Structure 1
């Protein structure tokens, strides 16, 4: 050993992040916390403002909330016969969220006020998206941009307010991606990602198609020496947790079809055999109408995010950003391909599952373009000027459109008709004995009727069940003649064509009150004594 080597000072040993003092870590994280906290505050204000007034209440929202009510009150997994239409974890979580406000005010457990339960889910999803963007290598401004795109797009503001299982599933899948991209590469993080992925699928089953993209992210971020263990553990954890659903059906003797009971196989068969919405790009198809409704609110996030995702996947081999965002970009591509199936059913809430990944892809593409412009060493000032001009142009094009798109969500009252109809049936004295009155209504007002004293299931009747549930049909031996009122909302009028009892009830009733105008009106229709006399002859 030489004297020079012997005199060399010892190299400092790097201190692991977890071992650093909390004050040091907080100081280093302060800029990111400010960005994330600032954007989150704006997102929560925009999404929380007037959430009970806009958009119009939906039957699906009422169904999920009524199922949560059934869980809270020990009435099983649904307010009617649970027929395995969706895994129940989504509304079980909703029951936990709405449990405290329902204790304080049982009458508040109805769709409009309980939309505020979606606000924590939206905020948590936005924070997880920021964390994921940072873990995938995006700078703070780009992560904040992804968060803003996800939370402030008019399309997101409308759909994330509504009580949809997709909003809960998105939170879990974002958590799974964050754990899969953990910088510590801990095996337990990957197992946790598998459990979170299972929770996403059990909240909304369509999340199953996203799992291959999650595995890509996990493969990229796992350590080479432990990669096989990490991926195997995640897959095992996800599979074992997911098997709880068919195991539940098996233990209830409802796994396979049979006489006199529902079954998981029947539920899956129904979902797979539902009439398709047609080809997404066919102007005459139902799927195209759904696409048009999305683009009505916002074109930037769906179209720009899809283009960015395709570009990132194509550039994954030679672009660092494309390689880092390959998993989220693949998620967009996979979900878009599923939506393009002509034989598939495309619901309006399907795009919720795409929103965070569209925002992340668009922010990643913007970061890639900005980085390319700023890397020019000969004329860095020109690059900075170009980035500034592009940012200003984007703001000029997007901000006014989003301002106009979000204005109805912040100011309009689309639910005054529902409130007036419930008041008429509950507080006005028009129905002297709700406990002995039978009302057909959609699930948007079902819980309101239950709180008003109508018997759940046989007094307040979800209109579909009058035709489709044998247990309810047995309580209506004379069909429509056993019904007293019909709350004819747009949903009831639209779907009555395929429901004989509901259609006959509408045909043999007269409007005694009407709230709103045009196709959006809510009518209360009375089946009068003259029509009901025929049951006795």
Structure 2
């Protein structure tokens, strides 16, 4: 199918396309049909990825670092990550360029969603380039569509393509290079562009080096002399990037960690089985052998300690659907004595296809629900931002990589955000700490952060599990072990208050009060108000995030005698002065600031 320049291809060399009839041209109807198929596949791929853009699991720790670097570059702000997330200056520049050109940070609910948009666009470009590469290799229109469909709709692909890893960008460059190498009648300019694309892929991710054997093999088959030119250009670029310009261009892989290969394969077990079969079978097909070798090199990288499985799978993802579709087409053409692929001509082909579809459907029926689709584009960090804005505005905050990007996007001055990398022997003075997810890895890399967090008091928690965002108060005085229990005092005082005949309480408010979950200042002021007039308590509304942290409720809704209640609380002074007294349609909402002084309920401390 491919056309070659005279004198550039040896007659004895294997062709670069699958065996099939020569095609001299395409009618307008065929071109329109191909265009319709491509647009439909791109619409399917884009729609599914938008739906799963905010899917919470599986999670990737290095994703937060890439998002923060993209934000910092786009806003000319210095940032140093916590370490272990890999280094890809060229990849970060690409992500940042997309967000600046499209104003993604201004449009998106979170910094993470903004940068994930760039990955979504990269996924669509990969699907488009995979179509062109499949057609360049001689796959029929329907075989090429099947390959793109697997890439577009696999739960494994959806899970990978929502994560901000630079390997998705490297795939686009690598596929672009392979499309240029397999272009019919390719000229020197195509080879030069292919060399630049390969260079860009390697600078984005070092793992993209595995595509060099496939590209070089195809070039040698087609034009050995021009293959040498590509090798010279590529080596020159790599020499500069890893030599004099290494400080600003040299990439490094992220540390290995979760999610593991088992976590990913669980989303689509059929993909793992069929990919293995396709990689092995493709070695027997001359036109596919270069791609099979690169794919097997990627599989071998999965067994290298320290290599992140997510990065390897991101690069392997477009190869295996291509090889699977090509192998099926090659086998079908050998079995059917016609030039076109007609699976229904053999009695055994239809049952085999049905079994194959059933296996894929069974895997996908588990994989799609496991991705947990959601319309929440903000996540727990949005709640943490609101809490900080209301309770710690203008404070210096110790943050991890994920919280740094989100708080910076929300308008928090970056000079008041202290990343873990700024903590050498000790951390700079900070009043609060905000960490998204676990802190074990950060504590291990930065002992000063661990020491600061060990003495911190958890004040609010948003989200659950790996996505939980914890807000802690730093610098609190250590509790006196000999001091009476504050919780016990709140419990006894709350029981006494709930038993008063001058206070009316709904059952849920009474349960909160008797359990000792109400702020001592509220207990004391409600008791003082009840001595003056009967009190009607509507509820003790929780401040979002504080109940999971074990903080007592510091708000009360009083539903009777609004004017008298408002005057009573606005007249309070010193320790008992509320932070806000607000009249609502249901009553007067009284809110106290955080951290009641100890000892306010000493008479109730004894058991």
Partner SS, residue 530 of structure 1:
coil
Give CA-to-partner distance per residue, 1:382-423, whole Å, 9 cap, x none: 734432222222222212431431235462468632332232
Residue 51 of structure 1 corresponds to which residue in structure 2?
53
8 Å CA contact retained: 1:481, 1:505: no
8 Å CA contact retained: 1:147, 1:359: yes
Separation of aligned partners in 2, 1:248 and 1:25:
52
Within 5 Å, give how 1:105-144 maps onto structure 2. 105=106, 110-144=111-145
Separation of aligned partners in 1, 2:451 and 2:82:
24
8 Å CA contact retained: 1:87, 1:205: no
1:84/1:358 CA distance change after superposition, 3 Å: closer
Separation of aligned partners in 2, 1:232 and 1:408:
48
The alignment status of 1:301 with 2:263, answered yes or no, reads no
8 Å CA contact retained: 2:295, 2:316: yes
Query: Shift of the alpha carbon at 1:531?
Result: 5.7
Query: Shift of the alpha carbon at 1:519?
Result: 5.0
8 Å CA contact retained: 1:61, 1:443: no
Separation of aligned partners in 1, 2:52 and 2:137:
35
Give CA-to-partner distance per residue, 1:423-449, whole Å, 9 cap, x none: 2223xx11132xxx2322222221221
Residue 349 of structure 2 corresponds to which residue in structure 1?
387
Number of matched pairs: 454
Query: Shift of the alpha carbon at 1:83?
Result: 12
Query: Shift of the alpha carbon at 1:338?
Result: 2.3
Between 125-134 and 492-501, report the one with greater CA deviation.
Answer: 492-501
The alignment status of 1:88 with 2:49, answered yes or no, reads no
Between 122-131 and 238-247, report the one with greater CA deviation.
Answer: 238-247
Normalized against structure 2, the TM-score is what?
0.68
Residue 323 of structure 1 corresponds to which residue in structure 2?
286
8 Å CA contact retained: 2:181, 2:219: yes
Residue 423 of structure 1 corresponds to which residue in structure 2?
386
Query: Shift of the alpha carbon at 1:213?
Result: 1.9
Partner SS, residue 388 of structure 2:
helix
1:504/1:89 CA distance change after superposition, 3 Å: same
Separation of aligned partners in 1, 2:114 and 2:96:
14
Within 5 Å, give how 1:149-168 maps onto structure 2. 149-168=150-169
1:80/1:154 CA distance change after superposition, 3 Å: closer
Residue 239 of structure 1 corresponds to which residue in structure 2?
235
8 Å CA contact retained: 1:509, 1:526: yes
Give the helix-richer structure, 1 or 2: 1
8 Å CA contact retained: 2:344, 2:350: no
Separation of aligned partners in 2, 1:244 and 1:60:
27
1:348/1:461 CA distance change after superposition, 3 Å: farther
Normalized against structure 1, the TM-score is what?
0.76
Separation of aligned partners in 2, 1:448 and 1:84:
18
Unaligned runs of 5+ in 1: 1-15, 256-262, 278-285, 316-321, 468-472, 533-537
Query: Shift of the alpha carbon at 1:168?
Result: 0.4
Residue 522 of structure 1 corresponds to which residue in structure 2?
469
Query: Shift of the alpha carbon at 1:509?
Result: 0.8
Separation of aligned partners in 2, 1:30 and 1:417:
46
1:432/1:102 CA distance change after superposition, 3 Å: same
1:384/1:47 CA distance change after superposition, 3 Å: farther
Separation of aligned partners in 2, 1:370 and 1:430:
67
Query: Shift of the alpha carbon at 1:108?
Result: 5.3
Please point out which of 278, 281, 300 is paired with 1:311: 281
Between 146-155 and 84-93, report the one with greater CA deviation.
Answer: 84-93
Between 66-75 and 304-313, report the one with greater CA deviation.
Answer: 66-75
Residue 432 of structure 2 corresponds to which residue in structure 1?
485
Separation of aligned partners in 1, 2:437 and 2:64:
14
Provide the alpha-carbon RMSD of the alignment: 3.3
Partner SS, residue 54 of structure 2:
coil
Residue 210 of structure 2 corresponds to which residue in structure 1?
209
Query: Shift of the alpha carbon at 1:66?
Result: 2.2
Query: Shift of the alpha carbon at 1:330?
Result: 1.2
Please point out which of 453, 461, 470 is paired with 2:418: 461
Partner SS, residue 297 of structure 1:
coil
Query: Shift of the alpha carbon at 1:249?
Result: 3.2
Residue 393 of structure 2 corresponds to which residue in structure 1?
432
Residue 409 of structure 2 corresponds to which residue in structure 1?
451
Separation of aligned partners in 2, 1:101 and 1:129:
25
Query: Shift of the alpha carbon at 1:375?
Result: 3.1
Residue 495 of structure 1 corresponds to which residue in structure 2?
442
